[in-house]
Amino acid sequence: MASAAVIPEREHYLNQEYGIRSWLLTVDHKRIALLYLMSITFFFFIGGFFALLIRLELLTPAGDLVQADTYNKLFTMHGQVMIFFFLIPSIPAVLGNFLVPLMIGAKDLAFPRINLLSWYLYIIAGGLYLHCILTGGVDTGWTFYTPFSTAFSNTKVIEAGLAVFIAGFSSILTGLNFVVTIHRMRAPGMTWSRLPLFIWAHYATSIIMLLGTPVLAITLVLVVLERAFHLGIFDPKLGGDPLLFQHLFWFYSHPAVYIMILPSMGVVSEIVPCFSRKRIFGYQFIALASIMIAVVGFLVWAHHMFVAGISLYSALVFSLLSYLVAVPSAIKVFNWTATMYKGTITFSTPMLYAFGFIGLFTMGGLTGLFLACLGVDVHVHDTYFVIAHFHYIMVGGAVMGYLGGMHYWWPKISGRMYPESWGRLAALTVFLGFNLTFFPQFILGYMGMPRRYWQYPPEFQVLNVFSTAGSTILAVGYVLPMVYFLWSMRYGKIAPDNPWGASGLEWMTSSPPPTFNFEETPVVTWEAYDYANIPAPEEVPVER
Amino acid sequence: MSDSPAAVESRDLALRHHFATQEQQRRAASLGMWLFLSTEIMFFGGMFCAYLIYRRLYYTEFAAGSRSLDVTLGAVNTAVLICSSLTVALGVRAAQMGKRKLLVVLMLLTLVFGVAFLGIKGVEWNSKFKEHHVPGTSFHFEQTALDGKPIDPQHIQLYFSLYFAMTGMHALHMIIGVGMFLYLTYHSWKGRYGPEYFTPVENGGLYWHFVDIVWIYLFPLLYLIDLKK
């Protein structure tokens, strides 16, 4: 440090120790959350860079910017980086890591060293994947479909597979830590029915991480063994069956969608009551809907394989089960809306993101019903309709929730306020950019433009130009928060302990919290979201 | 068994800062271990699922492949593992009762059984290697029919792919377990575990029982598909 502070500052987790060692060897869940924040942001921009290259290539019908094989690598690496190195760890490993102990009144996660280990596993996996990118990349599509991945592709499939395998263990350890922490570390009085819904959402997410990820792990091991040693499990030439790969892969990778969206739902369940100044409507229903999504989410995987040759009867069952997931999702959307009804709504930045989430997630969810319908799925399978659908869920839903949560808890994390007007501008930019990017893709897909091609017939160009234009706006919207968050760390207003007048134990400790979170272990005697008894903040940081 | 003051102190230090009581810490560690084992079940579950499907589709080949294994060695290995589970279970009890020397002996015995299992497994793999039963470019299965039904050369290779994947993954878990028991033996010798603090022995035992149970399933599924000769 260049100059010593004149006024002795209050000690908190950020200034208790300095130096690179104190970060790399920390077992404090809050510091590990920041380590994750930096690493996933790095991968988010790498994945985003690939996305921009994809959109640039699709600006014109001809394949002019990149060749077909480069394009294959671009969409593969965009998908794998975004899913395994950004979306899966995003909210759980950053906000969850930071907030789960704070919200339940614990000093740390149950296994702090395992928590640090999970970050190191993530870094090893990320390093391996970066090496894979720099030495030629991988072109199998993010799904590693066999037998292409095991017999035909001559790119770095083994490295990519191992990287995702290791990243999976990082995610398993995070989930394990959360479940044990939520079961065993709650403060006195913090009963299950008093838990914030953010915690319920993370509990459900962790269950999926624990039970789903190992299946992906063993599947990737078998892919690597088949590719490296001709241990035939999936390759028909070696006696195997590629359909088995698809079953095993989607057994994890469909629930993985819920790993991405459930934590965002948890974030929205915190933001909406706070900026409506009302108790959340239907607490038990939202909590149980999270669990139901996790359970039913495990039973729908084969809807990715309706045209892959599965039997008609199993397709019917999986179609029905896929419709069923809409029930708990709709319960949540209705309850958030009902919470806002007659509430005192503030259009602050986190709330704007929450609005964005509810609208875009609803669109993504409803178009998911189209895809769960057997007849419609045959028509739009492997088209841009599917691309638009899952981007509405993963970007419109999951990333909106992530950004909303980052803004909502930024004062707690950094001890500084971000500039509110810039925040709102960025939220609007993201919303507009997102819709301009992905809405045209619904139409393109319905008109029959297939995914994963670098060229297309000229009649699709207008909509593709819209989409590419939108993606540049979206990029601006994503860079803005990074810039003003960094700016606010030095120049932002000092944040009070509870700037939003929010409920929840995390707001009862100082901003930023001390290393062990609370001066003394809190005793909980009130219900969650007790906004009837919480005064609105005296100095409202946001004009109404 | 008397405890030195240093040993007592180290047990108090074993309560980490973020737990309120030893009981809370022990219960957290135990739940964590059970959750980890549930992920392990899913991990092996992927392969058991593949086995189930392929065995139903290609029963003849699976039966032929199964007959080519050495049932005697497999049975001996099963017995060895069951003995090791017994010594682990007794070891947890010894730790709870604070019998340090007994604990060390039992941990060492478990280690010996574990290494013996791996040795016998190595012998089996070696003979499979010599018979060209390892999947890959030099794979060769001489038998062409079983009970009058033809054997498909690709599907018999599938059986051996699963055999090596499943026993290989099991052996990898055994090797990790052996490393773990080296650690536990050392710390038992140092007197770290006693009635107040025996979580590592208990969790190590749980892990070992899990690996044992996987083998209890693998043995009949791989060796005893169709024994009649």
Looking at the complex, does the CB of residue A112 fall below 8 Å from at least one CB of chain B? Answer: yes
Say whether pLDDT at A82 is over 70: yes
Looking at the complex, does the CB of residue A106 fall below 8 Å from at least one CB of chain B? Answer: yes
Please count the other Cβ atoms lying within 10 Å of the Cβ belonging to residue A74: 23
- At A348, the pLDDT band (50, 70, 90 cuts) reads very high
| Domain hosting residue B106, numbered range | 38-223
Given a contact cutoff of 8 angstroms between Cβ atoms, the answer to whether A231 and A225 are in contact is yes
**Residue in A110, A238, A247 nearest the CB of B32:** A110
Q: How many whole angstroms separate alpha carbon A96 and alpha carbon B70?
A: 51
Q: Test A222 with B39 for CB contact under 8 angstroms.
A: no
Helix extents (H) in A139-196: 157-184
Q: Test B152 with A110 for CB contact under 8 angstroms.
A: no
Helix extents (H) in chain B: 5-13, 22-57, 59-67, 71-97, 100-130, 153-189, 199-223
Q: Test B154 with A232 for CB contact under 8 angstroms.
A: yes
- At B13, the pLDDT band (50, 70, 90 cuts) reads low
Q: Number of CB pairs < 8 Å for A and B?
A: 119
Residues whose CB falls within 8 Å of the CB of residue A364, separated by 6 or more in sequence, listed in order: A389, A390, A391, A392, A393, A396, A397
What average pLDDT does this structure show over A16-40?
A: 95
Residues in chain A with CB shorter than 8 Å from the CB of B155 are: 239
Identity of residue A402: Y
What's the whole-number average pLDDT of chain A?
A: 94
Q: What would the two tokens of residue A502 be?
A: 């929010």
> Of the ranges A15-19, A403-407, A489-493, B30-34, which one carries the lowest mean pLDDT score?
A15-19
Say whether pLDDT at A521 is over 60: yes
Spell out the domains of chain A, with CATH numbers in brackets: 29-514 (1.20.210.10)
Q: How many whole angstroms separate alpha carbon B95 and alpha carbon A310?
A: 53
- Considering only CA atoms, give the Rg of chain A: 23
Three-state DSSP state, A436: helix
Looking at the complex, does the CB of residue B132 fall below 8 Å from at least one CB of chain A? Answer: no
Q: How many whole angstroms separate alpha carbon A253 and alpha carbon A305?
A: 13
Domain membership flag for residue B19:
no
What average pLDDT does this structure show over A13-22?
A: 91
Domain membership flag for residue B111:
yes
Q: Within the 243-272 window of chain A, which residues sit less than 8 Å (CB to CB) from chain B?
A: 244, 247-248, 251
Reference A9, options A413, A417, A415; nearest CA is A415
Domain membership flag for residue B29:
no
Share of chain B above pLDDT 70, in %: 93
Given a contact cutoff of 8 angstroms between Cβ atoms, the answer to whether B84 and B137 are in contact is no
Lookup result for tokens 């995610």: A171
Say whether pLDDT at A211 is over 90: yes
Q: What is the pLDDT of residue B12?
A: 55
Say whether pLDDT at A177 is over 70: yes
Say whether pLDDT at B144 is over 90: no
Identity of residue A377: D
Q: What would the two tokens of residue B164 be?
A: 């090596």
**Residue in A112, A176, A247 nearest the CB of B36:** A176
What's the whole-number average pLDDT of chain B?
A: 91
Q: Test B157 with A184 for CB contact under 8 angstroms.
A: no
What average pLDDT does this structure show over A155-165?
A: 96
Reference B105, options B116, B115, B90, B120; nearest CA is B90
- At A176, the pLDDT band (50, 70, 90 cuts) reads very high
Residue A128, CA distances (Å) to A97, A167, A228 in order = 24, 10, 17
Q: How many whole angstroms separate alpha carbon A43 and alpha carbon B226?
A: 52
What average pLDDT does this structure show over A278-301?
A: 96
Question: SS in 3 state form for A56-104?
Answer: HHCCCCCCCCCCHHHHHHHHHHHHHHHHHHHHHHHHHHHHHHHHHHHHH
Three-state DSSP state, A450: strand
What average pLDDT does this structure show over B8-27?
A: 76
Say whether pLDDT at A443 is over 70: yes
Domain membership flag for residue B228:
no
Chain A interface test: which of B39, B139, B207 (most A C-beta within 10 Å):
B39
Q: How many whole angstroms separate alpha carbon A1 and alpha carbon A398?
A: 38
- At B131, the pLDDT band (50, 70, 90 cuts) reads very high
Phi, psi values for residue A155, rounded to 5°: -115, -170
Domain membership flag for residue B4:
no
Q: What is the pLDDT of residue A275?
A: 95
Residues in chain A with CB shorter than 8 Å from the CB of B42 are: 210-212, 214-215
Q: What is the pLDDT of residue B229?
A: 56
Q: How many whole angstroms separate alpha carbon A77 and alpha carbon A66?
A: 15
Q: Test A215 with B42 for CB contact under 8 angstroms.
A: yes
Question: Does A6 or A343 have the greater pLDDT score?
Answer: A343
Q: Test B45 with A112 for CB contact under 8 angstroms.
A: no
How far is it between the farthest Cα atoms of chain B? 74
Phi, psi values for residue B135, rounded to 5°: -60, 150
Domain membership flag for residue B44:
yes
**Residue in A110, A172, A217 nearest the CB of B28:** A110
Looking at the complex, does the CB of residue B42 fall below 8 Å from at least one CB of chain A? Answer: yes
What average pLDDT does this structure show over A181-187?
A: 96
Domain membership flag for residue B28:
no
Q: What is the pLDDT of residue B201?
A: 96
Question: SS in 3 state form for A305-365?
Answer: HCCCCCCHHHHHHHHHHHHHHHHHHHHHHHHHHHHHCCCCCCCCHHHHHHHHHHHHHHHHH
Please count the other Cβ atoms lying within 10 Å of the Cβ belonging to residue A484: 21
Given a contact cutoff of 8 angstroms between Cβ atoms, the answer to whether A420 and A495 are in contact is no
Nearest 5°: CA angle at B161, between B160 and B166? 95
**Residue in B46, B54, B156 nearest the CB of A248:** B46
Q: What is the least distance, in Å, from the CA of A164 to any CA of chain B? A: 15
Q: How many whole angstroms separate alpha carbon A231 and alpha carbon B11?
A: 48
- Ramachandran region of residue A452, left (φ > 0), alpha (ψ -120 to 50) or beta? left
Residue A124 burial by Cβ neighbours in a 10 Å radius (0-12, 13-18, 19+): middle
Contacts of the segment A377-380: beta carbons below 8 A, 24+ positions apart: A377/A303, A377/A306, A377/A307, A378/A306, A378/A307, A380/A445, A380/A446
CA-based nearest residue in chain A for residue B160: A231
Looking at the complex, does the CB of residue B34 fall below 8 Å from at least one CB of chain A? Answer: no
The H-or-E segment that residue B225 falls in is none
Q: Is the peptide bond before A147 cis (omega within 30 degrees of 0)?
A: yes
pTM of the model: 0.94
Please count the other Cβ atoms lying within 10 Å of the Cβ belonging to residue B144: 11
List the CATH number of the domain containing B214: 1.20.120.80
pLDDT in tens, A103-128: 999 999 999 999 999 999 999 999 99
Q: How many whole angstroms separate alpha carbon A540 and alpha carbon A136?
A: 53
CA-based nearest residue in chain B for residue A184: B28
Chain B interface test: which of A100, A233, A517 (most B C-beta within 10 Å):
A233
Q: What is the pLDDT of residue A539?
A: 57
CA-based nearest residue in chain B for residue A112: B18
Structural domain total, chain B: 1
Say whether pLDDT at B179 is over 90: yes
Q: How many whole angstroms separate alpha carbon A142 and alpha carbon B80?
A: 43
Identity of residue B142: E
Say whether pLDDT at A413 is over 50: yes
**Residue in B49, B53, B135 nearest the CB of A230:** B135
Written as one string, the DSSP assignment of B66-131 is HHTS-HHHHHHHHHHHHHHHHHHHHHHHHHHHT-HHHHHHHHHHHHHHHHHHHHHHHHHHHHHHHT
Domain membership flag for residue B32:
no
The H-or-E segment that residue A216 falls in is helix A197-229
Say whether pLDDT at A3 is over 60: no
Q: Test A238 with B154 for CB contact under 8 angstroms.
A: yes
